[in-house]
Structure 1
Amino acid sequence: MIVTGYVLTALVALGIIYIGLSYLFAPNKTAAGFGFNAVPENAETFLNVKGGRDVGAGLIPIALMIYGDPHALGWMMLTAAVWPVFDMLIILRHRGKKAVAFGVHGLTAAVMVVAALLLLLG
């Protein structure tokens, strides 16, 4: 169970690092896939900030994986699952793309919760 939790965590961590780097190097293109119907003009600076924060968010679980405490990693993943939940809710609130809200952000949150449970119960 713990190995599966680590694998899921690594996939989520590497995915958010990739997305963060995309926001740094191709912010408008990346933002178009977030789930909103339109990307505001002159948003590149904010999107770069989001990219840096996403890279940092991806490095946190990697650091805990290296540290080797599955329970600490499990609690981190469980609490961090609120990030994609809020992304999903924000997209839905602003009448964005439901498929992206549920299929990307909702699914990410679900995978994070499953990984957390595997780590905490393993």
Structure 2
Amino acid sequence: MLVTGYILVAIVALGIIYIGLSYLFAPAKIAAGFGFTEVPENATGFLNVKGGRDVGAGLVPLALIIYGDPHALGWVILVAAVWPVFDMLIILRHRGKKAIAFGVHGLTAAVMVVAGLLLLLG
């Protein structure tokens, strides 16, 4: 169970780091896939900020993987699951693409919860 939890966390962490780097280097392209029906013009600065925060959000669990405390990692990833939940809710609130809201953000949150529980119970 612990190995599966660690693997799921690593996948999510590396994924959000990749997305963060994309927001830093190709913000307009990656923003189009977030789930909103339109991306505001001149939003590059905001999207770069989001990218930097996404990179940081991915590095935290990787640091905890290296630290080697599955309970600490489990709690952090479980709490961090609110980020994709809020992304999903914001997209739905603004009448964005439901498939992306549920299929990307909702699924990511579910994987994070499962990983967190595996680490806490393992």
> What amino acid maps onto 1:104 in structure 2?
V
Query: Normalized against structure 1, the TM-score is what?
Result: 1.00
- Give the alignment's Cα RMSD to 1 decimal: 0.2
**2: CA distance, partners of 1:3 / 1:35:** 32
> What amino acid maps onto 1:37 in structure 2?
T
CA drift of 1:59 comes to: 0.1
1:89 paired residue number: 89
Report whether the alignment pairs 1:21 with 2:21: yes
1:39 paired residue number: 39
Q: Tell me the SS of whatever aligns to 1:41.
A: coil
CA drift of 1:51 comes to: 0.2
> What amino acid maps onto 1:26 in structure 2?
A
**2: CA distance, partners of 1:54 / 1:119:** 22
Task: State the aligned residue count.
Answer: 122
> What amino acid maps onto 1:67 in structure 2?
Y
**1: CA distance, partners of 2:48 / 2:83:** 18
CA drift of 1:37 comes to: 0.1
Unpaired runs of 5+ residues, structure 2, are none
**2: CA distance, partners of 1:107 / 1:34:** 14
1:72 paired residue number: 72
Q: Runs of at least 4 residues of structure 1 off by over 2 A?
A: none
CA drift of 1:10 comes to: 0.1
**2: CA distance, partners of 1:58 / 1:31:** 18
**2: CA distance, partners of 1:7 / 1:115:** 8
**2: CA distance, partners of 1:113 / 1:17:** 19
Aligned-residue sequence identity (percent) comes to 85
**1: CA distance, partners of 2:66 / 2:38:** 39
CA drift of 1:60 comes to: 0.2
Q: Tell me the SS of whatever aligns to 1:35.
A: coil
**1: CA distance, partners of 2:117 / 2:52:** 28
1:11 paired residue number: 11
Query: Normalized against structure 2, the TM-score is what?
Result: 1.00
> What amino acid maps onto 1:73 in structure 2?
L
Q: Tell me the SS of whatever aligns to 1:77.
A: helix
Unpaired runs of 5+ residues, structure 1, are none
Q: Tell me the SS of whatever aligns to 1:38.
A: coil
